[in-house]
Structure 1
Amino acid sequence: MSNTDNRCRLVLVAPDIADVEVCTQAISDALRGGDVASVILPQYGLDDQAFQKHAEALVPVIQHAGAAALLAGDTRVAGRARADGIHVTGNAQVLAETMEKFSPKLIVGGGNATDRHHALEMGEIRPDYVFFGKIDGDIKPEAHPKNIALGEWWASMIEIPCIVMGGTDPQSVLDIANSGAEFAALRLAVFSEPSQAAAIVAQVNALLDEKAPRFED
């Protein structure tokens, strides 16, 4: 078993699959591939009732694998589905309101840090993490250079962990790891071919084990 405590770890963003059974199978397969710190569940185009159905199916699967289930969408669903946390895609004010209501009972992180100014605004709220990029922003093979630069800047001076969104190529996690960011998020890189999800997660962990820089204690 690899030691993941002192290197960048993988975060998964659930795929946009409306069929709850197919989505659950894809995530279950991916989690069998190795270490995953957390899985972010976006609401995508689902109505609240369908999103709750997804969450109630997915949250136990994620937790059973030892990962944290973070919901990005209707916050009421997080409580009903017994998720571990909430991923906020709104601005600093929304993040502050969510922190006030749910922290420290649930993990609360922010994902709209589009530049240094907004990132620092979020940092002042002391969330559990800050997310650089959009959870559906993996449109090129590589991670967006701006997000990597923000992650590098953030990791060099602020203790709050950060997650940087990767690209459609699983190898994009290495640029993120080299930035000093604590977490690299992948979506299409893992789920574009669901049958390969476990193998890709295993490949990413092997890559990080071998080449990711180690954090200093």
Structure 2
Amino acid sequence: MTTGPENRCRLVLIVPDIADIEERRTMLADALRGGDVASVIVPQYGLDDTLFQKHAERLVPVIQEAGAAALIAGDSRVAGRAKADGLHIAGGVVELAEAIEKHTPKLIVGGGNAGDRHNALEVGEVRPDYIFFGKLDGDIKPEAHPKNVALGEWWAAMIEIPCIVMGGTDPASALVVAESGAEFVALRQAVFGEAAAAARIVAEVNALLDEKAPRFDD
């Protein structure tokens, strides 16, 4: 039996909405020093395409040097120029299917926008690398949204495609997601809400998951 993080729910970080590139880079690098992170999603937020490109080119190497996969939300051209590992598609099934057809297996391609089981099954039919339950900026309460946790639990029990469930603003929400059987939990404000604490919180979340998260081969 393996006991490393690969055998339990792992952490996915969503980069916060910060306009200053260097501040954003420093905060992300600090968080990644805290311990195991499977991947990092970089959303565009309100940045124009040129500025988003600059942000991506500064952040992707930091992510990759930490051993995580760098996923750019939405823009395949930005992902390609920044040499990212993958694309996160937040749009519908048609957009996701087109991205999968065009970019796999060269890039990881996943996404969601699946608000119910029917939508989720439609997403599953196009065979993404993962499905995401929730919104990238959906961490508006301390706990993970119960609907997303329930979808993750249902999905993980019957579908082999891994799922990421959006957590809440409380780092402890990661354990609730892990207990659903989901392979990954995404955190944003829970880690980056207080810049100086990012590394400590990543370490604490990993320790919590090491101690209490269910193991996938149990």
User: Taking structure 2 as the reference length, what is the TM-score of the superposition?
Assistant: 0.98
Q: Which residue of 1 aligns with 2:217?
A: 216
Paired letter, 2:205: V
Residue 74 (structure 1) shift: 1.9
Aligned pairs (5 A) from 1:155-166:
155-166=156-167
Give the conservation status (yes or no) of the 8 Å contact 2:112–2:123: no
Give the C-alpha shift of residue 114 in structure 1.
Answer: 1.0
Cα-to-partner distance string for 1:77-120 (whole Å, 9 max, x where unaligned): 00000000000000000000000110110000012111111110
Q: For residue 144 of structure 2, what is the amino acid of its counterpart?
A: A
AA paired with 1:34?
G
Specify the alignment match of 2:101 in structure 1. 100
Amino acid at match of 1:62: I
Q: In structure 2, what is the equivalent of residue 62 of structure 1?
A: 63
Q: Which residue is 1:75 aligned to? A: 76
Tell me how far apart the structure 2 counterparts of residues 8 and 143 of structure 1 sit (CA, whole Å): 15
Offset at residue 216 of structure 1 (A): 1.7
The residue that corresponds to 2:129 in the other structure is: 128
> What's the offset of the Cα at 1:73?
2.7
Question: Structure 1 runs of 4+ off > 2 angstroms?
Answer: none
Match of residue 184 from structure 1? 185
Alpha-carbon displacement from aligned partner over 1:134-180 (angstroms, at most 9, x marks no partner): 00000000000000000000000000000000000000001100000
Corresponding residue number in structure 2 for 1:4: 5
Cα separation, 2, equivalents of 1:110 and 1:73? 10
CA distance in 2, matches of 1:147, 1:59: 28
Contact 2:16–2:189 (CA<8 Å) still a contact in 1? yes
Match of 2:18 in 1: 17
Q: Is the 8 A contact 2:127 2:161 kept in 1?
A: yes
SS, match of residue 204 in structure 1: helix
Q: CA RMSD in A?
A: 0.8
What amino acid maps onto 1:73 in structure 2? Answer: G
Kindly indicate whether the alpha-carbon contact (under 8 Å) linking 2:112 and 2:120 is maintained by their aligned counterparts in 1: no
Q: Which amino acid aligns with 2:22?
A: E
Given that 2:87 and 2:110 are in contact with CA atoms closer than 8 Å, whether structure 1 keeps it comes out as yes
- How do 1:170-209 residues align onto structure 2 when only pairs under 5 Å count? 170-209=171-210
- Counterpart for residue 28 of structure 1: 29
C-alpha distance in 1 between matches for 2:17 and 2:92? 23
Distance 1:144 1:102 in 2: 31
Segments of 5+ residues of structure 1 without an aligned counterpart are none
Residue type matched to 2:195 in 1?
P
2:83 aligns to what SS in structure 1? coil
Instruction: Please give the residue correspondences for 1:109-120 in structure 2 after superposition, counting only pairs within 5 Å.
Output: 109-120=110-121
Distance 1:206 1:180 in 2: 18
2:89–2:109 CA contact under 8 A, matched in 1 = yes
Tell me how far apart the structure 1 counterparts of residues 120 and 79 of structure 2 sit (CA, whole Å): 24
Per-residue CA deviations over 1:114-134 (Å, capped at 9, x if unaligned) read 111111001001100000000
Deviations 1:157-204 (A, max 9, x none): 000000000000000001100000000000000001111000000000
Identity of aligned residues (%): 75
